[in-house]
């Protein structure tokens, strides 16, 4: 019996051992089956399936098979991949948070490795490749991605702090280009120039860096020194390379001319390049842009010293319109500089083309600052407040978008001041501000309308207001704001037929609610009570007003 019990006990013990082994094997197999394969995550990212990669990344970083304490290198890799998916899916703040977690695990690995090396050196033993875990993530690359996320949400100071933490010798081409932009945004000119020069040393064909250096005041000869100069045995560069460097030098010269306000020289050089590269969208846009900037330097009174040089190209606005139209015929989905095209169309009083341009831009990419500037230009003819709102939206999207600031300045400085005075019933101050705007911008229909608005604010000034509105419409026939104001005056003076006749001319070009409302008032007016204030009577008027009219 004793031997039988012993045999039974041994059999039972054997079964227990076998079951334990089976359980351990099953557990290992289960864990491996439940793992999320990292190569599949990389495949999704490579294929541009960022939303799918983001969802898979949730499983990858939450997997219980990766122990945070014993395998920090795996955790760091998984988090970095998940961060890449979030970055590409434009989840910038989430990406920053995940990337910073990856860097925390990377620091743990560095500390463990340092301790391991120290103990190995103390015991005089050689370290084996598997004695400590090496991180598969590149710390500098992760910091660059964090900086890129900060840039995308206009946190330039935080982005610069991340980039400055990367050693200068470890920075690649992308990093130097981003640092140049960030230094320029923060008005650190010297380090910005150094970064852009480093970009050209890596690759002399970065047009963005060439333009930035020219705008930062670097001389053409200094930029030339960064371009390819490799002569052969005969002392002359090969033909193809010579031709290549020659057009690039012409481009540098053109940008430096424009940066030094030599618009005529810059346009001539761009025209020369256009002969070599016909239908080049970039050059056509650059040429049209410079004409626009020249025109608006005067109209915005940015710097009177430039006036003489700009006047030389004022007559080229028709050529600029032609350039823009050519660009749109070559590539109808271009958004860059199309806000400047909208400005030109407004100056030419072409509401049909302006309406179509804005409609096209909204269908291409409604999130671009150029679209909101074009919307502002469109609304400027109808509603100053709506125009100002759109100009401010463009600046919120990109606070370095120049045309947004130009349009906002033109809208706010004169009209905002006049409206504020009128709201405070300070009519004399409003009239003075409007006259100053008119003197500063004698060719501006908007300035003429401002003076008319002040006179129209009381009954005794309506006749003068009518003259200013009519002058504004002679200067800019498509100015709907002046037409609506004049029609309102006609209705107040019981000239309903004139009001209806005036507004019907605009129906074919403007599908606008305010236009239909004014037409209805013209047909069946419900005249508001008149104000009897006469602060703006100013019977003698201003001699300069008569001259300008």
Output the pLDDT for position 362: 95
pLDDT of 121? 56
Query: Could you give the CA distance from residue 24 to residue 226 in angstroms, rounded to a whole number?
Result: 65
pTM above 0.85, yes or no: no
Enumerate residue ranges in the chain where pLDDT < 70: 1-36, 65-70, 110-136, 229-244, 291-316, 412-414, 507-549
Q: What are the counts of helices (DSSP H) followed by strands (DSSP E) for the chain?
A: 29, 0
Distance between CA 143 and CA 374 in Å, rounded?
Answer: 36
At 310 the pLDDT is 35
**pLDDT tens-digit profile of 67-81?**
666 678 888 899 999
How confident is the model over 456-490, as pLDDT tens digits?
Answer: 888 888 899 999 999 988 888 878 788 888 888 88
Residue 130, pLDDT score: 46
Would you tell me the crossing angle of helices 513-523 and 480-492 to the nearest 10 degrees? Answer: 20
pLDDT, residue 539, reads 42
How high is the pLDDT of residue 304? 35
- Quote the pLDDT of residue 412: 66
For residue 81, give the nearest of 132, 156, 138, 5 by alpha carbon. 138
DSSP letter for 532, please: -
CA angle, corner 42, sides to 38 and 43, nearest 5? 115
Within 10 A of 4 (CB to CB), how many other CB atoms are there?
8
Taking CB atoms within 8 Å and a gap of at least 24, the contacts of 227-233 are: 227/200, 227/252, 228/204
């Amino acid at each position: 019996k004793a031997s039988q019990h012993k045999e039974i006990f041994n059999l039972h013990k054997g079964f227990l051992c076998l079951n334990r082994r089976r359980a351990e094997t099953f557990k290992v197999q289960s864990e491996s089956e439940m793992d999320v394969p990292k190569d599949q995550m990389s495949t999704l990212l490579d294929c541009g399936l960022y939303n799918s990669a983001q969802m898979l990344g949730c499983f990858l970083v939450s997997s219980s098979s990766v122990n945070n304490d014993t395998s920090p290198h795996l955790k760091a890799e998984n988090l970095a991949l998940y961060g890449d998916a979030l970055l590409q899916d434009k989840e910038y703040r989430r990406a920053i948070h995940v990337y910073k977690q990856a860097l925390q695990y990377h620091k743990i690995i560095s500390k463990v490795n340092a301790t391991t090396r120290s103990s190995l050196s103390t015991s005089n033993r050689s370290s084996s490749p598997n004695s400590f875990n090496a991180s598969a993530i590149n710390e500098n690359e992760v910091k660059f991605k964090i900086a890129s996320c900060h840039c995308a949400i206009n946190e330039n100071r935080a982005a610069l702090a991340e980039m400055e933490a990367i050693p200068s010798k470890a920075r690649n081409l992308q990093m130097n280009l981003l640092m140049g932009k960030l230094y320029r945004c923060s008005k650190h000119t010297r380090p910005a120039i150094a970064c852009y020069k480093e970009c050209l040393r890596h690759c002399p064909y970065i047009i963005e860096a060439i333009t930035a250096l020219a705008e930062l005041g670097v001389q053409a000869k200094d930029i030339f020194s960064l371009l390819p100069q490799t002569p052969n045995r005969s002392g002359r560069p090969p033909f193809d390379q010579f031709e290549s460097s020659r057009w690039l030098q012409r481009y540098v010269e053109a940008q430096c001319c424009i940066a030094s306000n030599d618009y005529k020289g810059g346009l001539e050089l761009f025209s020369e390049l256009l002969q070599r590269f016909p239908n080049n969208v970039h050059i056509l846009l650059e040429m049209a842009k410079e004409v626009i900037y020249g025109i608006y330097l005067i109209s915005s009174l940015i710097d009177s010293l430039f006036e003489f040089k700009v006047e030389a190209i004022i007559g080229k606005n028709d050529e600029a319109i032609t350039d823009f139209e050519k660009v749109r015929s070559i590539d109808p989905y271009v958004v860059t500089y199309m806000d400047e095209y909208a400005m030109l169309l407004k100056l030419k009083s072409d509401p049909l083309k302006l309406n179509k341009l804005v409609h096209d831009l909204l269908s291409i990419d409604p999130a671009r600052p150029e679209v909101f500037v074009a919307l502002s230009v469109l609304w400027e003819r109808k509603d100053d407040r709506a125009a100002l709102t759109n100009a401010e939206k463009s600046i919120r999207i990109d606070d370095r978008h120049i045309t947004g600031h130009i349009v906002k300045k033109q809208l706010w400085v004169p009209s905002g001041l006049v409206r504020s005075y009128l709201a405070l019933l300070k009519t004399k101050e409003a009239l003075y501000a409007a006259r100053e705007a008119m003197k500063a911008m004698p060719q501006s229909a908007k300035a003429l309308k401002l003076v008319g608005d002040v006179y129209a604010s009381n009954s005794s000034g309506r006749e003068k207001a009518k003259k200013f509105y009519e002058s504004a419409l002679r200067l800019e026939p498509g100015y709907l704001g002046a037409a609506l104001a004049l029609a309102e005056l006609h209705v107040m003076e019981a000239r309903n037929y004139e009001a209806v006749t005036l507004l019907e001319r605009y129906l074919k070009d403007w599908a606008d609610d305010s236009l239909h409302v004014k037409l209805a008032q013209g047909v069946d007016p419900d005249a508001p009570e008149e104000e009897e204030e006469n602060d703006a009577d100013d019977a003698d008027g201003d001699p300069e007003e008569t001259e300008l009219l």
